[in-house]
Amino acid sequence: MMKESDIQLLNEIARFEDSHDMVKEYKIGWGWRHVRIWPATLSRLFKDGYLETVFQSNSFTGYRLSDLGKKVVAGEKVDVTGVSPQLEPQKITLPDDLFEDIIGHDEVKELLRASLMAEKPVHVLLGGPPALAKTLFLWDIERACGEEKAIWLVGSATSKAGLWDLVAQREPQVLMIDELDKMNAADMAALLSMMEGGRLVRAKVGRELNLSQALWVLAATNRVDVLAPELRSRFAIRRLNPYSRAEYLTVVKGVLVRREDTSPELAEEIAQRLDGRTQDVREAIRVARLAPQVGVEKAVHLLLGD
Ligand SMILES: Nc1ncnc2c1ncn2[C@@H]1O[C@H](COP(=O)(O)OP(=O)(O)OP(=O)(O)O)[C@@H](O)[C@H]1O
Ligand SMILES: [Mg+2]
């Protein structure tokens, strides 16, 4: 039996298609933004055979109603047993240049890759002091997974709708949570159940979430120690250590040249001047931004004092 809500969705889609010229306006199909239906829902309707894809690229999937979808809209009896749904979730494919912009941290890269390639979820939490590229890791993964599969959250700013509804609506495969330690208690409770996966869990009356699609959780925090033990237990926790002096030099030079458009000579000078004075990459970025006006020496003096 097809869900009533899915039939409604197909009807909305049919109305959209009827009110536009599909050949002229939507030659490559329409996307989720056009019909205002979450990508995960569309890909489910596609897997069940009600939609077909006209076009596919990394950033856009163009759909249109399939013959089966049209039959449903027309109210014809549909023999769904004849359709073989591909229930396998699309596997995440990771590009070779994932984490290319992150210098060092080789084992963290390996761990995250292995976690994402695993058959079943291994959740990973990156812990450690500021400015060690934790957020950068989450960004890179989000970009690689794409907006259909990944949801990005910041603990201190979780949406009003709440984590539960967000995941129920969008059915992501990967959940990225930055500043995990600042997440509110309700979202935290939801997260604990989701991370165990597979079961039918109930948040509020009338709202059930069937996590048939496995969910990977990747998170970052400055403060692993303040997290509840049951939350910590659900993660593979990887603590990033502050950079050694040699690492700091390498990272600073790399970041300044690649991301701040600093010349290699100036980057070298800044790295040398800060060597032994700070381990914070952000400090080097500030110096690089002030240096064109006041020079490196003065910039260091103004920012760090004597
Ligand atoms: N290994 C690295 N490779 C590339 N960039 C780095 C590296 N380490 C630090 N950075 C740079 O330092 C800055 C801070 O990085 P990021 O925001 O990812 O740190 P964080 O670990 O999330 O810090 P916080 O705990 O304060 O949130 C960014 O500009 C980033 O480019
Ligand atoms: Mg961060």
**Tens digit of each residue's pLDDT (9 = 90 or more) over 173-231:** 999 999 999 999 889 988 998 898 755 555 554 455 556 678 999 999 999 999 999 99
Nearest-CA residue for ligand 1 atom 4 is 102
CA separation for the pair 96, 52 (Å, rounded)? 29
Percentage of the chain beyond pLDDT 70 is 90
Nearest-CA residue for ligand 1 atom 14 is 131
Coil, helix or strand at residue 201: strand
Q: Is 126 in the pocket of ligand 1 (CB under 6 A)?
A: no
Residue of 281, 283, 287 to mutate, ligand 1, most atoms within 8 A of C-beta: 281
CA separation for the pair 288, 265 (Å, rounded)? 12
Long-range CB contacts (within 8 A, 24+) of 254-259:
254/103, 255/103, 255/281, 255/284, 255/285, 256/284, 256/285, 256/288, 258/101, 259/101
Q: Is 222 in the pocket of ligand 1 (CB under 6 A)?
A: yes
Who surrounds ion ligand 2 at CB < 5 A? 135
> Per-residue pLDDT tens for 248-263?
999 999 999 999 999 9
**H-helix or E-strand spanning residue 221:** strand 216-221
> Per-residue pLDDT tens for 268-292?
999 999 999 999 999 999 999 999 9
CA R_g for the chain:
24
Q: Is 131 in the pocket of ligand 1 (CB under 6 A)?
A: yes
Residue 38 CB neighbour total at 10 angstroms? 14
Average pLDDT over residues 24-48: 89
**Whole-number mean pLDDT of the chain?**
88
Band (pLDDT 50/70/90 cuts) for residue 55 is confident
> Per-residue pLDDT tens for 86-126?
445 567 788 989 999 999 999 999 999 999 999 899 999 99
8 Å CB contact between 53 and 62: yes
158 Cβ contact list (under 8 Å, min separation 6): 183, 184, 187
Q: What is the pLDDT of residue 202?
A: 53
Band (pLDDT 50/70/90 cuts) for residue 56 is confident
* Farthest CA pair distance, the chain: 81
Lowest mean pLDDT among 126-135, 155-164, 277-286: 155-164
Q: Is the confidence at residue 82, as pLDDT, over 50?
A: no
Atom index in ligand 1 nearest the CA of residue 104 equals 1
Give the number of the ligand closest to the Cα of residue 239. 1
Atom index in ligand 1 nearest the CA of residue 221 equals 25
Q: What is the pLDDT of residue 86?
A: 44
CA separation for the pair 300, 302 (Å, rounded)? 6
8 Å CB contact between 264 and 134: no
Q: Is 169 in the pocket of ligand 1 (CB under 6 A)?
A: no
> Whole-model pTM?
0.73
For ligand 2, the distance from its centroid to the CA atom of residue 116, given in whole angstroms, is: 20
4 Cβ contact list (under 8 Å, min separation 6): none
Atom index in ligand 1 nearest the CA of residue 136 equals 18
